Amino acid sequence: MKRTERWLFNHQNKHRALALTCVTLVSTWLSSPVHAATEAQSSSQKPMNILMIAVDDLNHWVGNLNRNQQVKTPNIDALASKGMSFQRAYAPAAICNATRSAMMTGLRPSTSGVYSNGRDWRSVVGPHRSLPAFFKANGYKTLGGGKIFHKDSVARLEEWDYYYFQNKHPETFSLSTEEQAEVDARGPEKNNRYKIGKLPISELAGGDDVLNDYHVARWASAELSKTHEQPFFMSVGIFRPHLPWAVPKKYFEMYPEQSIELPPYKEDDLADLPKGKNKPAVEHTMILKEGGWKRAIRAYLASVTYADAQVGRVLEALENGPNKDNTMIVLWGDHGWHLGEKHRWRKFALWEEATRTPYIWVVPGVTTPNSATETPVDLQSIWQTMANISGLDAPNYVEGENLIPLLENANASWHTPALTTQGYKNHAVRYKQLRLIQYANGTEEFYDHSVDPYEWENLAGQPAKLAPYAADIAKMRNYLPTHNREWNEASKLYGGDPAYAKFKKTKMVDTND
């Protein structure tokens, strides 16, 4: 199928064609993982569709990661059983906007200067240089809904063929006349709203459709039930379990408070940390004082299971529709979430809990059911891998590794650490079973997960204990970013518009008409 080649940096295809005229290179290519993926792609009548599902604030407390068996995530677990689950996947950043901007622009936070939730990625990256724009330029129908970029209102409509704008507020949305009549028919309903510490929680009356995620899933399900003339790139953003932890009461009822298990923790866990990191978060202290630790975890788990239910509806529509056998699926959480570990809540840190997240790939002809790898990778790999599976070359500025070798073989040799950035010059490197954290002021933390899975003993500053790791530490330090840019410097390199320096309120227009 002939594709439209409009992408500025897609000039490398011609060099590939010339190289293939050499018999020796052809032989090498035929035995390579990239060839296997390309062969799977070319065996179809049209390029493989892409379904990308993003779940906001979803940490590694999901069933298939074997981290916390009290959680109920049957649909995510079922998806993992169909393909490759990365058991040690890490976000490019531990904050929503920075990590999503990194994945969707191809530029790590240290490259783009997008470190915070307030920085609009459009101030750094010019038009037509995002992940959906790349696939649109290569002949795909681009469809999006829910939270993909940090704010769906800044999705450039010229980069999407259709974007489902629905979320005016996490708990409100517009209903059709028929839907409103159905809600009214239920009679008066009351929501139980409260706070634990500073965490807003609501046990909502009504069904799944009282939240926007249901309607995003409904839209996606309808699209997946159709036959599309073009291959499609569909992005589905599920907002829960992001705060507020507001989901229907039935999900709270799945988790009786007395059954909730606290995560492993240590009272003096912070004693060996650098200054500024060695005090409990105020919020954690509040929650302990209120006796609300289990209740807060209960609310998070309820929100995770609600999100899982919406993911299930989308996957069921794909399974029962015409696109089942020719669609790759990628599911990710945008970063981790602390639930009291290291005496803190939320994200915004460089430890395991704030950075680790689910990452699942199901690719017909490439992945094997029930496969999993413990090799640490980061989500910056998404663009390179999608492009390679699709037989395309990612633009030459896109950062991240191609995961095809690991998708095909869980035990493939892999030497690239996972990198997470949290603010200017603050980085964590995850390699093998090791984590190195380096802060802007030069202080460090170092952990060996093979003996210390909860990061309770900081080995930095203990020369005798660090000595056996000298070679690995040198490699990890070499992987730290060589440049740490501010956004205005990056804007000059990547064609951004400084007028978008900060997020502005933008009128959302539904492009369905």
Q: Which residues are catalytic?
A: 96, 150
Alpha-carbon span 474 to 431, nearest angstrom: 11
- Helix and strand numbers (H, E) in the chain are 18, 20
Residue in this structure with the two tokens 């790759």, named with its chain if needed: 328
Query: 418 in helix, strand or coil?
Result: strand
The number of beta carbons lying within 10 Å of the beta carbon of residue 478 is 10
Alpha-carbon span 193 to 203, nearest angstrom: 6
Alpha-carbon span 340 to 156, nearest angstrom: 38
> What is the maximum alpha-carbon separation in the chain?
74
Cα angle value 498/499/501 (rounded, 5°): 65
Burial of 511 (C-beta count, 10 Å sphere; 0-12/13-18/19+): middle
Q: Which amino acid, 218?
A: R
Residue 366 in contact with residue 408, Cβ under 8 Å?
A: yes
The number of beta carbons lying within 10 Å of the beta carbon of residue 207 is 13
- Chain CA centroid to CA 219, Å: 21
Residue 324 DSSP symbol? G
